Amino acid sequence: MKNCLFLYFIFSIFFGYSQSNEQSIDLISLRKSNNGSKPFRVLMTTISDQSLFQKKYNGTDMTLEFVLRHHFYTAIDLNADKNQLISMDGTKFILSSNNAKDITDESILLVSKMYFGKKEFKTFKNIIKKNEEF
């Protein structure tokens, strides 16, 4: 019985911690991956105005935040101390950009160089290419 209570306590701490971290993120990832140690990346940004990520991405009908959250499995945490991208394995990349468009471009470039991100980027480029043909 003590073992069961102990296991319940450990699981509740772990899952409660995981859920509370995800709940503190302003714009959660729209998709989750089974590939990394975490199911999504986190873009932490000093930008506090969510509407700045509502601009269209490079002439498409998709917003900056939709591209990051859907195509690149990335949650967005607004009003952070610095601009950084945290990969699915926990690696932190400091971003040099300061506006939403440039932060999005820099994040996508970083993701495109990651092991799983290469496939995401290739798929995204194909979607963009197909949309340009129509």
pLDDT in tens, the chain (134 residues): 554 444 444 444 444 434 434 558 889 999 898 876 789 999 999 999 999 999 999 989 999 999 999 999 999 999 999 999 999 999 999 999 999 999 999 999 999 999 989 999 999 999 998 877 65
CB burial readout 103-121, b (16+ within 10 A) else e: bbbbbbebbbebebbeebb
Quick: pLDDT tens for 80-97. Answer: 999 999 999 999 999 999
Report the distance separating Cα 54 and Cα 9, nearest Å. 41
Enumerate the β-bridge partners of residue 93.
85
| Calculated CA dihedral for residues 70, 52, 79, 94, nearest 10 degrees | 70
Eight-class DSSP state of 54: G
Which neighbouring-strand residues pair with 27? 76
Contact 102, 108 (CB under 8 A): no
Query: Would you say the pTM of this structure is higher than 0.75?
Result: yes
pLDDT reported for residue 102: 98
Instruction: Map residue 74 onto helix, strand or coil.
Output: strand
